[in-house]
Amino acid sequence: MGKKSLVGLSVEYPKTVVFLSVLLAMLFLTQFPKMTTDTNPKNMLPATSAVRVGNDGVEKTFGLYEDMIVLGVTHDQGVVNPGTLARIKRITQEIVLIPGVAARDVASFTTIDNVTMAEGALRVAPLMTEVPDDEAGLAQLRRALAENPLFINRIISPDGKTTAIYIPLEKGASGKEVADRLREIVRNEAGEERYAIAGDPVARDTFGAEMFKLMGMFAPMAGMIMFAVAFFMFKSLFLSMAIMAPAMIIIICSMGLIIGLGYPVHIMSSMSPVFLMAIATDSIHIFNEFYFRFHESGEKKAAILDTMRAVGKPLIYTDITTAVGFASLMLANIIPVKVFGFGVAFGTMLLLLLSFTLVPALLTFIRVDKIKRVTASEDHGTSKTTSLLMGLSRIGSRRPRATLLLGGLLVLVAVFGVSRIHVSNNLVEWFKTGSEIRMADRVLNQALGGTSLAYVVASAKEDDFMKNPAALRYIEGLQRHLETLPMVGKTFSVVDYVKRINLVLHDNDPKFDVVPETREEVGQYLFLFAMSAKPSDLDNVVDYPFRQANIWVQMKTWDAQAMRRVIAAMDEYAKGHPMPIELKPAGIAYFNLVWNDEVLWDMVKGFLAALVIVFIILMVNFRSFKWALISYVPLLFTILLLYGVIGFAGKDFDMPISVLSCLSLGMAVDFAIHFVGRFRLRRAEVACGESLADSLAWTAARPGKGIMRNALLFAGAFSVMLFAPLTPYITVGAFIVSMMLLSALMTIIYLPALITLMQGWLLKGENCSGD
Amino acid sequence: MKRLILLMLFLVIGPVARALAASPDEIIQKSQAAFFYPGADFKARVMMKLISPGGQERVREMTMLRLNTGEAGGEQKYFMYFFQPAEVKDMTFMVFKYPAKDDDRWLFVPAINMVRRIAMQDKQASFVGSDFTYEDVSGRDLGDDVHELAREEVLNGRECFVVKSTPKADSAGYGSKLSWIDKASFLPLQEEYHDRAGSTVRVFTADEVKEVKGFPTITKRTMKNLQSGHRTEVSYVSQDYNVGLEDSLFSERFLRQPPKKWIE
């Protein structure tokens, strides 16, 4: 009753309603200047999360950096030539001056320490201090690179054509800014060298920044497209604006709320305007029905009230299910995901309120003469759209068994596709195949040990344990074991330094390319090394009391699966080699794995919760288990088919897709709610005066047209994303466009088929179901 | 009249003379003599603590012997015997320092009973893993830098010259150095190493100065790396000058078997 009077009041005092709505929007708009942004996807896990605390500890213990950029330099005739070497030297000198770069630990030809024996003297010094000016010097450098296993695959490719400069970043530095500066530096170098800039911080920070830019661009574009499509459908400028008004208000209010509560706008919440705009298309059912009603009665106010009476209930339930889909994200552990879910759920509920106040109020301002002209075509007996929709519904109602059988087959195929889905989150692959970031990553991963860095930390229970030859042999064995994995391109540890010194002290006698026999030897070699090497060389691989050792693992892919396999191999080795040493993963690749799992499973958890809650809401809505079940079918069918396609297409199930799951749930069920709700209303109205097939056809043509309009508007708005330069947007766009169209089709074809086939069970209450 | 001329002469020459006395090259030269060359020889038991940003420590304990074989600023010989860490006990290290040319260095590795010459071009490499460089331990050639007197100021109650030294070669590990040099003892009480962008990278402080046989001696010092958060504290457990070191001590033979009386 309350809502009817709400609509009544709004129609009575439309100007007040409009005024109040604008006031509300203005109120939330006042919060906008407080906006802070956070483009770092890493912050999706709070700083207190176990993985971040663990990584911080490891970084502190071993003097490591959270983030590292890799600059690759390739020359087809080999990088050891005076020109290229001079460039490497010059570039390195410029790199250490970039703000945000941890200058003291940049690893390049001119800074990386080499241990050699020359003219009877042991030498620990940077590999190259001056560019050699003669052939002898070049040959010596080539030999130095080739003979030291610490260099191969790390700073020189086995074919000698590619080198890399490893650029660690200070905490809080932006990978994108450093990468941009690097691009400038290499651009100033004329020459035949090719450069590649890769590494997680580049991808991550570039993605974060791009995402914000894109959202700022796509939200207005989607809005404009929606406006244009609405105008094309209703041929009224005013009506198109009336459709956009609630969308604008809920976007302002929900963003204003998030900002006002003090949350930074994160990459996640930056997506909410586009989502809210799409959700706001739900109000199209009001306009759709109003056109029919007005056409039939010709009386404006009565038509508004009748419209709200007819579509009111489905609107309430569709908005609630959508809100539930997003509110389910609030079960997540990740705060930006929670905030996003909360913001969109809030906006959706506000939309519901506006649908019963602002939208009817706006309808009262429509000029009667104009509307008469444009609604003239809204007769569902004649128009082409109408006959198409009716035809679609008759496929289902005439040949229900065949239709369902075909559907069943499709489901089987889809289930098979779903089983092939590969869960992964590869940040680098969020960029297009031809993009600079992807190419750089590919080039470097082909030539060198890998751009993705993880650590395995070996911890013993007593100090100085890592000077034990047995402990070193254990670590060496672990390195060889990890290197058997195809995506592990390089590992190194304190063992490599000890072996190197052993070999060099013994005049490169290959017999001594092993871990020495005694603890004294190990201790003295390490001391000797530390006497002249950069302190960080040793600090990076052993802790102060020699209780822990750190093994660097370079991987050739950012796929979280690679890290998962490294951990599995690590555990397997630990099991097979008893030793009082505990092995633990760390590093950015490990962080990405945890991030991936947490974000993904939070989404899946939300999705499952939403599945249950939506079903309960459907039962409450229809007051019937059977009808809830029936209207659930298009939803499940749509989602299964889409994920089936994802499985077959070999597209990874990643973060963007998991976010979509929650959205799809709330949206895909909407059409079924409208259809079933209106169908049952129709049956109640016409009593037994209409055949089942005709009632279904009417439903398909009347609210069905609203469904089609909704789907098209929605799909139109999201189709802009197909042209985005980042693959997650293309995925989101393609997913939503096909989801809307598919669930509309499913609703209009499969619901009639199901209802026809199960009429005995479903329509038992109807007295005339027997004829 | 005569007096007046004298007074005028004094007024004119006084500042000039003071300025001459305060010529930055001279200050640095005196400072190096006071810091690295006092006495004919020197012996100290040194405790060195390497402290990580997290507060973990590594200890190096050694006996350091120094013999001046030339003038202040000239050649020197250094001998180091290590007591700690435990597994490097008996390790010895010898340096012949030459101005304007690479030093000669030898190391004895007892575990494999081997003496090795160590080539070292980079005097700014870390000294035994500490925050001190070899140069910090044995001094830098006067002519390697351009010195200028930045200002004079009081530091911790001591009148100091503040000298800015800028390396002539761009291969130096830092951009410039500011030294607070005590006007009385000419010891550096504080040093700041700046990178080329101008920010401070390392800071040296003399934490305790004692007079030993008439030579003011820094007995406690700290070098802190502001970028890595790492620091090294050095203290002399005992120290003495003019103990009568002989040139013959600085040989491969004694590197392998150092005489007990010199190392204990």
Q: What's the pLDDT tens digit per position in A376-427?
A: 655 544 567 777 777 777 777 778 788 888 888 888 888 888 887 777 667 7
| B68 within domain boundaries | yes
Token duo for residue B62: 């050694």
Q: Which of B57, B87, B230 lies closest to A535 in CB terms?
A: B230
| A658 within domain boundaries | yes
**What residues have CB less than 8 Å from A428, skipping those under 6 apart?**
A198, A203, A437, A438, A441, A558
Does A602 have pLDDT greater than 80?
A: no
- The shortest C-alpha distance from A123 to chain B (Å) reads 5
Q: Which residue of B has its CA nearest to A130?
A: B171
From chain B, the residues in CB contact with A525 under 8 A are 109
From chain A, the residues in CB contact with B117 under 8 A are 120-122
From chain B, the residues in CB contact with A61 under 8 A are 54
Distance, in Å, from the CA atom of B235 to the CA atom of B221, rounded to the nearest integer, reads: 6
From chain B, the residues in CB contact with A125 under 8 A are 119-122, 125
| A212 within domain boundaries | no
Q: Which of A97, A467, A535 lies closest to B197 in CB terms?
A: A97
Q: Nearest CA to B25 among B224, B163, B121?
A: B163
Residue B53 to residue A61, Cβ atoms within 8 A: no
Token duo for residue A428: 């680098």
| A221 within domain boundaries | no
| B16 within domain boundaries | no
Site from A524, A525, A534, A536 to mutate, B interface, most B CB atoms within 10 angstroms = A524
Region of A546 please: left (phi>0), alpha (psi -120 to 50) or beta: left
- Which 3 state secondary structure label does DSSP give A321? helix
- Tell me the angle at which helices A82-95 and A175-187 cross, rounded to the nearest 10 degrees: 140
| A227 within domain boundaries | no
Q: Which of A129, A520, A532 lies closest to B111 in CB terms?
A: A520
| B9 within domain boundaries | no
Residue A523 to residue B86, Cβ atoms within 8 A: yes
Does A137 have pLDDT greater than 60?
A: yes
**Lowest-confidence region among A45-59, A79-93, A230-244, A757-771:** A757-771
Residue B119 to residue A518, Cβ atoms within 8 A: no
From chain A, the residues in CB contact with B128 under 8 A are 527, 530-531
Distance, in Å, from the CA atom of B133 to the CA atom of B128, rounded to the nearest integer, reads: 9
Helical spans, DSSP H, in A514-559: 519-532, 535-539
| A642 within domain boundaries | yes
Domain that holds residue B103: 27-263
pLDDT for A349: 92
Distance, in Å, from the CA atom of A560 to the CA atom of A426, rounded to the nearest integer, reads: 7
Token duo for residue A516: 């020495």
**Binding-site residues on chain B for chain A (CB distance < 8 A):** 50, 52-54, 56-58, 82, 85-88, 91, 93, 107, 109-112, 114, 116-122, 125-131, 171, 195-197, 227-228, 230
Residue B220: which pLDDT band, with cuts at 50, 70 and 90? very high
Distance, in Å, from the CA atom of A745 to the CA atom of A737, rounded to the nearest integer, reads: 12
* Residue recorded with tokens 């003495």: B240
Residue B127 to residue A531, Cβ atoms within 8 A: yes
- The shortest C-alpha distance from B8 to chain A (Å) reads 53
- Which 3 state secondary structure label does DSSP give A527? helix
Residue A63 to residue B228, Cβ atoms within 8 A: yes
| B32 within domain boundaries | yes
| B13 within domain boundaries | no
- Which 3 state secondary structure label does DSSP give A455? strand
Does residue A725 share a domain with residue A646?
yes
pLDDT for B4: 61
Q: What is the pLDDT of residues B10-51, one digit of tens each?
A: 555 544 444 445 688 888 888 888 888 888 889 999 999 988
Helical spans, DSSP H, in A72-148: 82-95, 135-147
Residues pairing with A456 in the sheet: A551, A585
Number of domains forming the structure of chain A: 4
Does residue A81 share a domain with residue A23?
no
pLDDT for B11: 56
HEC string of A664-711 equals HHHHHHHHHHHHHHHHHHHHHHHCCCCCHHHHHHHHHHCHHHHHHHHH
Cβ–Cβ under 8 Å, residues A198 and A439:
no
Average pLDDT of span A72-100 = 85
Could you count the other beta carbons within 10 Å of the beta carbon of residue B9?
Answer: 10
Number of domains forming the structure of chain B: 1
Which of A593, A628, A653 corresponds to the end of one domain? A593
Does A322 have pLDDT greater than 90?
A: no
* Residue recorded with tokens 């530095």: A173
Q: What is the pLDDT of residues A513-546, one digit of tens each?
A: 888 888 888 888 888 888 777 777 888 888 888 8
**What residues have CB less than 8 Å from B249, skipping those under 6 apart?**
B65, B67, B79, B258, B259, B262
Average pLDDT of span B244-263 = 83
Q: What is the pLDDT of residues A422-480, one digit of tens each?
A: 776 677 777 777 777 788 888 888 888 888 888 988 888 888 888 888 888 999 999 99
**Lowest-confidence region among A268-277, A364-373, A397-406, A617-626:** A364-373
Residue A519 to residue B87, Cβ atoms within 8 A: yes
Q: Which of A102, A119, A524 lies closest to B91 in CB terms?
A: A524
| B14 within domain boundaries | no
* Residue recorded with tokens 């013994």: A506
| Share of residues in chain A with pLDDT > 90 (%) | 4
Cβ–Cβ under 8 Å, residues A168 and A63:
no
- Which 3 state secondary structure label does DSSP give A192? coil
pLDDT for A411: 85
Which one is predicted more confidently, A563 or A719?
A: A563
Which one is predicted more confidently, A562 or B9?
A: A562
Does residue A50 share a domain with residue A40?
yes
pLDDT for A1: 40
Residue A126 to residue B227, Cβ atoms within 8 A: no
Inter-chain CB pairs, A–B, below 8 Å: 114
Token duo for residue B197: 């962008």
Q: Which residue of A has its CA nearest to B109?
A: A524
Distance, in Å, from the CA atom of A675 to the CA atom of B147, rounded to the nearest integer, reads: 88
- Which 3 state secondary structure label does DSSP give A128? coil
From chain B, the residues in CB contact with A545 under 8 A are 56, 58
- The answer, yes or no, to whether the previous bond of A41 is cis (omega within 30 of 0) is no
Site from A60, A521, A531, A541 to mutate, B interface, most B CB atoms within 10 angstroms = A531
Distance, in Å, from the CA atom of B141 to the CA atom of B122, rounded to the nearest integer, reads: 14
From chain A, the residues in CB contact with B56 under 8 A are 543-545
| A665 within domain boundaries | yes
Distance, in Å, from the CA atom of A255 to the CA atom of A278, rounded to the nearest integer, reads: 15
pLDDT for A574: 87
From chain B, the residues in CB contact with A119 under 8 A are 119
From chain B, the residues in CB contact with A129 under 8 A are 121-122, 171
Does residue A589 share a domain with residue A468?
yes
Does residue A639 share a domain with residue A667?
yes
**Binding-site residues on chain A for chain B (CB distance < 8 A):** 60-61, 63, 97, 102-104, 118-126, 129, 464, 467, 505, 516, 518-525, 527-528, 530-536, 538-539, 543-545
Residue A769: which pLDDT band, with cuts at 50, 70 and 90? very low
Instruction: Give whole-number Cα distances, A258 to A248, A320, A342, in Å.
Output: 16, 20, 9
From chain B, the residues in CB contact with A522 under 8 A are 87
Distance, in Å, from the CA atom of B185 to the CA atom of B197, rounded to the nearest integer, reads: 32
pLDDT for B204: 92
Average per-residue pLDDT for chain A = 82
Half-sphere exposure of B48 (CA within 13 A, CB side): 23
| Share of residues in chain A with pLDDT > 70 (%) | 95
Average pLDDT of span B144-162 = 86
Q: What is the CA radius of gyration of chain A?
A: 33
User: Residue A280 sits in a domain of what CATH number?
Assistant: 1.20.1640.10
pLDDT for B7: 59
Residue A770: which pLDDT band, with cuts at 50, 70 and 90? very low
Q: Which of B109, B120, B230 lies closest to A528 in CB terms?
A: B109
Say how many residues make up chain A: 771
- The shortest C-alpha distance from A88 to chain B (Å) reads 15
Q: Which of B53, B121, B195 lies closest to A129 in CB terms?
A: B121
From chain B, the residues in CB contact with A104 under 8 A are 227-228
Does residue A755 share a domain with residue A625?
yes
Residue A531 to residue B195, Cβ atoms within 8 A: no
Q: Nearest CA to A482 among A552, A582, A549?
A: A552
Token duo for residue A33: 């200047």
From chain A, the residues in CB contact with B91 under 8 A are 524, 527
Distance, in Å, from the CA atom of A495 to the CA atom of A542, rounded to the nearest integer, reads: 10
Q: What is the pLDDT of residues A342-365, one digit of tens each?
A: 999 999 999 999 988 888 888 888
Cβ–Cβ under 8 Å, residues A647 and A591:
no
Distance, in Å, from the CA atom of B173 to the CA atom of B169, rounded to the nearest integer, reads: 10
pLDDT for A421: 76
Average per-residue pLDDT for chain B = 83
Please give the ipTM for the structure prediction.
0.81
Cβ–Cβ under 8 Å, residues A366 and A16:
no
| B17 within domain boundaries | no
Residue B5: which pLDDT band, with cuts at 50, 70 and 90? low
Single-letter amino acid, residue A319: D
Does A274 have pLDDT greater than 60?
A: yes
Residue A530 to residue B93, Cβ atoms within 8 A: no
Which one is predicted more confidently, A279 or A424?
A: A279
Average pLDDT of span A41-57 = 78
From chain B, the residues in CB contact with A124 under 8 A are 118, 120, 125
Does residue A154 share a domain with residue A102?
yes
| A229 within domain boundaries | no
Q: What is the pLDDT of residues B90-118, one digit of tens each?
A: 889 898 888 777 788 888 988 888 888 88
pLDDT for A376: 63
Could you count the other beta carbons within 10 Å of the beta carbon of residue A160?
Answer: 16
Distance, in Å, from the CA atom of B40 to the CA atom of B63, rounded to the nearest integer, reads: 17
Residue B9: which pLDDT band, with cuts at 50, 70 and 90? low
Token duo for residue A112: 């990386």
Residue A544 to residue B52, Cβ atoms within 8 A: yes
Residue B110 to residue A125, Cβ atoms within 8 A: no
Site from B88, B115, B136, B256 to mutate, A interface, most A CB atoms within 10 angstroms = B88
Catalogue the E-assigned strands of A528-677.
548-555, 581-586
Q: Which residue of A has its CA nearest to B175?
A: A97
User: Residue B165 sits in a domain of what CATH number?
Assistant: 2.50.20.10
Q: Which residue of B has its CA nearest to A62?
A: B52
Catalogue the E-assigned strands of A227-298.
265-266
- The shortest C-alpha distance from A585 to chain B (Å) reads 21
Residue A536 to residue B228, Cβ atoms within 8 A: yes
Residue B128 to residue A118, Cβ atoms within 8 A: no
**What residues have CB less than 8 Å from A556, skipping those under 6 apart?**
A445, A449, A450, A451, A452, A487, A488, A489, A562
Does A375 have pLDDT greater than 70?
A: no
| B15 within domain boundaries | no
**What residues have CB less than 8 Å from A286, skipping those under 6 apart?**
A307, A308, A311, A315, A355, A359, A360, A363
pLDDT for A51: 83
Does residue A155 share a domain with residue A21?
no
Q: What is the pLDDT of residues A219-269, one digit of tens each?
A: 788 888 888 888 887 777 888 888 888 988 999 999 999 888 888 887 777
Does residue A685 share a domain with residue A611?
yes
| A150 within domain boundaries | yes
| Share of residues in chain B with pLDDT > 70 (%) | 89
Q: What is the pLDDT of residues A672-686, one digit of tens each?
A: 888 888 888 888 887
Does residue A187 share a domain with residue A102?
yes
pLDDT for A374: 66
- The shortest C-alpha distance from B242 to chain A (Å) reads 28
Does residue A758 share a domain with residue A732?
yes
Distance, in Å, from the CA atom of A107 to the CA atom of A722, rounded to the nearest integer, reads: 40
Domain that holds residue A62: 56-204
Does residue A123 share a domain with residue A21?
no
> What is the distance in angstroms between the CA of the first residue and the CA of the last residue of chain A?
36
From chain A, the residues in CB contact with B195 under 8 A are 103
Residue B125 to residue A118, Cβ atoms within 8 A: no
Average pLDDT of span A191-215 = 80
